[in-house]
Amino acid sequence: MATTSADPSLAFGDEDATGGIRTIGGLPLPRFVPVQRRERPPAIPLTEAIRQVRSKAHAKFDETVELSIKLGIDPRRGDQMVRGAAMLPHGTGKTVRVCVFAKDEAADAARAAGADVVGSEDLINRIQETGGANLGFDKCVATPDMMSKLGKVARILGPRGLMPNPKLGTVTTNVAEAIAAMKQGRVEFRADKGGVIHAGVGKRSFDEAALEANVGALAAALLSARPKGVKGSAAGGYMLRASLATTMGPGVAVSVASLVAAGMSARSAKGAGDS
């Protein structure tokens, strides 16, 4: 039955005549459809997640496998910033070009250790003049005496994640050891503004055991970097959820419990190897 109003042109139309759609002035009224919240897929153990990720990678190149972990931290608080580095036992699968800021004997040691770019003030001036174009390196190491000079290019190197940092072991007098670590599989991680860690843990071509060992090494380093102010246990309250994916593939949810177990196993294996 149609509804009348003071203005006949604005009368509600007959729902039967319009297929059940209410109209006003001959125009259909908007319909509000409730939005159904999309549920997250259930998290699965790390071993099964690695198997699925590898099976779903179909790109024509060797895709990188990346681990993402949502942390229960407040990134706005300085005492809850999570940052560190991990040594992946099976490497990253990438060729890493290392730059060393050093001079004299340290520069000679860097060249002997296989550094791709070595320099001091001359290199800093060149980076400053070019604005960081065509740097030709992926990681940076510096000796302590070069840090005051690197202030000139901090705004260039910093946003690229290339600024040497004592906390990450990239400011050191033992440049040969730092270069070897970077070329063998050292990865750095840092929580973004959303409290999420992203890090590559290998390539699609790696076997499942190698990827699991690399993930375990990263999880162990992440557990060690846990801020004191975060409440909860190793899993609850700190590592909230995680996913694994290749460069072009879909993400697969990984159970936090299996990540923690892999991290503990990697820590035990490292302790046994050091003893």
Q: Where are the domains of the chain?
A: 42-93+185-275, 95-184
Residue 189 CA to residue 197 CA, distance in Å, equals 6
**What are the structure tokens assigned to 3, written together?**
């509804």
Residue 200: its H or E element: strand 196-203
Question: E-strand spans in 29-173?
Answer: 64-71, 83-87, 98-101, 117-119, 139-142
Tell the residue number behind the tokens 């820590």, with chain if given. Answer: 267
Q: Is residue 75 predicted with pLDDT exceeding 90?
A: no
Residues 86-102, mean pLDDT to the nearest whole number? 92
Average pLDDT, the chain: 85
Classify the C-alpha dihedral 168-170-173-174 as positive or negative: positive
Backbone angles phi, psi at 22, to 5 degrees: -75, 140
Question: Band of the pLDDT at 1, cuts 50, 70, 90?
Answer: very low
Q: Could you read off the pLDDT of 171-228 as tens digits, one per residue?
A: 999 999 999 988 888 888 999 999 999 999 999 999 999 999 999 999 999 998 888 8
Does residue 211 contact residue 201 with C-beta atoms inside 8 Å? yes
What digits encode the pLDDT tens for the residues 7-50? 555 555 555 455 556 666 667 766 666 766 777 778 899 999 99
Domain 42-93+185-275: give its CATH superfamily: Ribosomal protein L1/L10, rRNA-binding domain (3.30.190.20)
State pTM to two decimals. Answer: 0.73
Quick: pLDDT tens for 103-132. Answer: 999 999 999 999 999 999 999 999 999 888
**What φ, ψ does residue 166 adopt, rounded to 5°?**
-60, -35
Percent of the chain residues past pLDDT 90, beyond the cut? 52
Topology of domain 95-184 in CATH is Rossmann fold (3.40.50)
Tell me, what DSSP letter sits at residue 139?
A: E
